[in-house]
C-alpha cells in the first residue's frame, strides 16, 4: 500500500516532484518540448486558484520553451 502525504496545499504532492517523475517516465528519444506542451494543454483545463497546479503548469511551460502565454 502506498502512503500519501498532505503538504497543506492541494494534497497533490509537490509540483517539482511530479515534474521530475514525469520526466523520468518519458521514453528514450521523446521530444520533451512537444510532450510538455501536451501537459500544459491538459493542465489548462484546471482552475488557476490551486498554486500547485499553477506551479506545475509553469514548469511544463518552461520545458516547452514558450515565451508567452499558452492556451
**What are the C-alpha distances in Å from 70 to residues 21, 43, 54?**
23, 11, 13
For the stretch 3-35, pLDDT in tens is: 444 444 445 579 999 999 999 999 999 999 999
Listed in sequence order, the residues at least 6 apart from 37 whose beta carbon sits closer than 8 Å to its beta carbon are: 60, 64, 66, 70
The one-character DSSP state at 27 is P
Q: What was the pLDDT predicted at 6?
A: 46
For the stretch 46-66, pLDDT in tens is: 877 899 999 999 999 999 996
CA nearest to 2, candidates 23, 10, 13, 37 = 13
Q: What was the pLDDT predicted at 68?
A: 54
Amino acid at each position: 500500500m502506498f502512503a500519501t502525504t498532505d503538504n497543506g496545499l492541494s494534497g497533490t504532492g509537490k509540483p517539482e516532484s511530479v515534474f521530475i517523475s514525469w520526466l523520468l517516465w518519458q521514453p528514450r528519444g521523446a521530444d520533451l518540448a512537444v510532450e510538455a506542451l501536451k501537459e500544459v494543454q491538459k493542465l489548462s483545463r484546471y482552475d488557476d486558484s490551486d498554486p500547485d497546479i499553477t506551479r506545475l503548469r509553469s514548469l511544463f511551460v518552461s520545458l516547452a520553451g514558450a515565451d508567452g502565454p499558452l492556451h
